[in-house]
Amino acid sequence: MSITDEEIEKIEEKAYLIRRTVIEMLTEAKSGHTAGPLGMADIFTALYFHILKHDPKNPDWEERDRLFLSNGHICPVRYAAMAHAGYFPVEECMTLRKFGSRLQGHPERDMLPGVETTSGPLGSGLSQASGYALAARMPARPDDSGRSGGDGKAFRIFCLMSDGEQEEGNTWEGAMFAGKYRLTNLTAVMDRNNIQIDGNTEDVMPLEPLDEKYRAFGWHVIPIDGHNIGQFVAACDEAKSIKEKPTLILAHTTPGKGVPSIENDYRWHGNPPGKGPTDKIPADKQKEMFLKELEETRSMK
């Protein structure tokens, strides 16, 4: 799955639009998470517009790749990417977190076609994705009772998770399981942005060395710049070529990417524009300034 410079430019432009949508929908909702969604916009855009095998017009297509979002609170960027990819109108993004909306504060599988799992409790996604990957890989043959023994499918399973989730024991149970069963059809992508709601991860609960830990659990690990589309596409290609191991793409990202005033500031982990810290930008000016800074950052490329 190679990618040209022209394709990278198109994805970067789409990521800019998705970031705009994230800012607008969070402002409208008056609640939600800002830093993570902005930081993961490049990866989600690359997934939905280049990497994933999927069909927005047929979201239940049996041969589609499966995307598990473990850190469900960053769902605004997933919703925005899905909308721009054609799953539903972009205007529907403005219903985020409203009563009756399909776009809840954490994704609900039964409410929105194209969402594979309901997520909310952190640390569950890798175990869910690992079990799904094992079932997908099992040979599709009858067992002694005449029932199918597995799916025998060739699609890939992607699990997106946060670095803060590495503090959850369930994450490591999933990592052990995937390593034991050599789930080569599983690619995990960790958003290594170094923040969580209470502060910097290495202050709250030191996580390093993450790459060595996953290798010790039997994983192939690829560190990348999470804002470099070419690196991410190449890492996904490499994951497909790895035999006998699951792959972790350790994506180093900048929380709040594209809006310099809030980049790397953990206080924006769980605050939307208009509700966040006011030491740099007054609350009533935050949406306006975020969009202005985003446009300026785009023009500097």
CATH of the domain at 56: 3.40.50.970
Domain assignment present for residue 142? The answer is no
Q: What is the mean pLDDT of residues 170-196?
A: 97
Cβ–Cβ under 8 Å, residues 276 and 289: no
pLDDT at residue 154 is higher than 90:
no
Q: What is the mean pLDDT of residues 177-181?
A: 98
Q: What angle do CA 297, 298, 301 make, to 5 degrees?
A: 95
pLDDT at residue 127 is higher than 60:
yes
Q: Name the percent of the chain lying above pLDDT 70.
A: 95
Q: What is the mean pLDDT of residues 105-126?
A: 93
pLDDT at residue 292 is higher than 60:
yes
Terminal Cα-to-Cα distance of the chain (whole angstroms): 25
Domain assignment present for residue 72? The answer is yes
The pLDDT of residue 148 is: 47
pLDDT at residue 1 is higher than 80:
no
pLDDT at residue 235 is higher than 50:
yes
For tokens 């239940």, the residue is 60
Domain assignment present for residue 250? The answer is yes
The residue among 43, 81, 44 whose CA lies nearest residue 232 is 43
Q: What is the mean pLDDT of residues 104-117?
A: 94
The pLDDT of residue 141 is: 63
Express each pLDDT in 257-291 by its tens digit. Answer: 999 999 999 999 999 999 999 999 999 999 999 99
Domain count, the chain: 1
pLDDT at residue 211 is higher than 60:
yes
Written as six digits, the tokens of 244 are 């006998």
For the chain, give the mean pLDDT: 94
Give the residue numbers spanning the domain of 215.
Answer: 5-137+147-299
Least confident interval from 139-143, 204-208, 238-242: 139-143
pLDDT at residue 145 is higher than 60:
no
Side chain identity at residue 95, one-letter code: T
The pLDDT of residue 203 is: 96
Q: Name the percent of the chain lying above pLDDT 90.
A: 91
The pLDDT of residue 2 is: 83
Q: What is the mean pLDDT of residues 79-91?
A: 98
Cβ count near 296 (within 10 Å): 12
pLDDT at residue 97 is higher than 90:
yes
pLDDT at residue 250 is higher than 60:
yes
The secondary structure of the chain as a DSSP string is ----HHHHHHHHHHHHHHHHHHHHHHHHHT-S--HHHHHTHHHHHHIIIII----TTSTT-TT--EEEESSGGGHHHHHHHHHHHTSS-GGGGGGTT-TT-SS-SS--TTTSTT--S---STT-HHHHHHHHHHHHHS---B-TTSSB--------EEEEEESGGGGSHHHHHHHHHHHHTT-TTEEEEEEE-SEETTEEHHHHS----HHHHHHHTT-EEEEEETT-HHHHHHHHHHHHH--SS-EEEEEE--TTTT-TTTTT-GGGSS--TTTS--SSS-GGGHHHHHHHHHHHHHHT-
The pLDDT of residue 144 is: 55
